[in-house]
């Protein structure tokens, strides 16, 4: 745990320096910089990492960071009309892996599917309804477990873009998955955002 905390602190400091040096290109970035300085959390590091990647890639213009509009929360706004909510997320199974009381005799762990679905839909609801919105999740521990039937409940303008790493005999690869309803119309945009973040969208 000490090593993990040290790594988060070091990354927070490096990202704070980079964001501060490039603040003129990123409206609203000072709120995220303050979070990095005051709260050493992995979720803030992931948020800052995505901002840095998007600025360096240049495909999209970041028009706001940490934008709140009443009941909606936009972590990153692109081109004035594309909304991203950043989530360093995990399923209940991943959370329960640390709790021996929730482990089964066969080696598995409890999964609270209802809680997982409600957490996911609550995150999607933080994005405005009138523009393309992506919940961009960088997997935490074992990542998310999405049941196919949940996608039918996703709003037509919103989707989950899941980022993760895959390792094989040749090394480590960045990949992503798109989870959306059957009426989602922004697949091409999802590919562009995923590429800008440095992750290859499968499918």
- Tens-level pLDDT at each residue, the chain (203 residues): 556 688 899 999 999 999 999 999 999 999 999 999 998 899 999 999 999 999 999 999 999 999 988 889 999 999 999 999 999 866 555 554 555 555 454 556 677 889 889 989 999 999 999 999 999 999 765 567 888 899 999 999 999 999 988 877 888 889 999 999 999 999 999 999 999 999 999 86
Q: What is the pLDDT of residue 145?
A: 80
CA-closest candidate to residue 123, choices 81, 179, 80: 179
Name the token pair of 108: 């598995």
Q: Rounded to whole angstroms, how far apart are CA atoms 41 and 53?
A: 19
- Hey, what are 173's tokens? 């690869």
pLDDT of residue 92: 53
CB 125 within 8 A of CB 133: no
- Residue 93 pLDDT: 53
For Cα atoms 165, 170, 174, give the angle at the middle one, nearest 5 degrees.
20
Interatomic CA distance for residues 203 and 199, integer angstroms: 13
Per-residue confidence (pLDDT) for residue 5, from 0 to 100:
82
pTM for this predicted structure = 0.88
Tell me how far apart the alpha carbons of residues 115 and 74 are, in angstroms, rounded to a whole number: 23
């Amino acid at each position: 745990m000490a090593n993990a905390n040290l790594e988060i602190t070091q990354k927070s400091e490096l990202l704070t320096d980079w964001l501060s040096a490039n603040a003129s290109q990123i409206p609203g970035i000072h709120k995220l910089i303050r979070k990095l300085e005051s709260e050493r959390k992995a979720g803030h590091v992931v948020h800052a990492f995505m901002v840095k990647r998007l600025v360096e890639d240049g495909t999209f213009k970041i028009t706001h960071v940490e934008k709140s509009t009443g009941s909606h929360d936009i972590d990153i706004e692109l081109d004035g009309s594309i909304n991203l909510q950043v989530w360093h997320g995990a399923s209940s199974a991943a959370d329960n892996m640390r709790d021996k009381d929730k482990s089964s005799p066969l080696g598995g762990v409890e999964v609270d599917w209802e809680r997982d679905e409600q957490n996911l839909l609550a995150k999607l609801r933080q994005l405005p309804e009138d523009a393309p919105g992506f919940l961009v999740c960088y997997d935490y521990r074992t990542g998310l477990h999405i049941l196919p039937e949940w996608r039918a409940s996703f709003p037509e303008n919103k989707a989950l873009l899941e980022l993760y790493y895959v390792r094989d005999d040749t090394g480590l690869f960045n990949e992503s998955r798109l989870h959306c309803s059957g009426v989602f119309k922004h697949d091409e945009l999802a590919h562009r955002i995923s590429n800008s973040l440095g992750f290859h969208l499968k499918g």
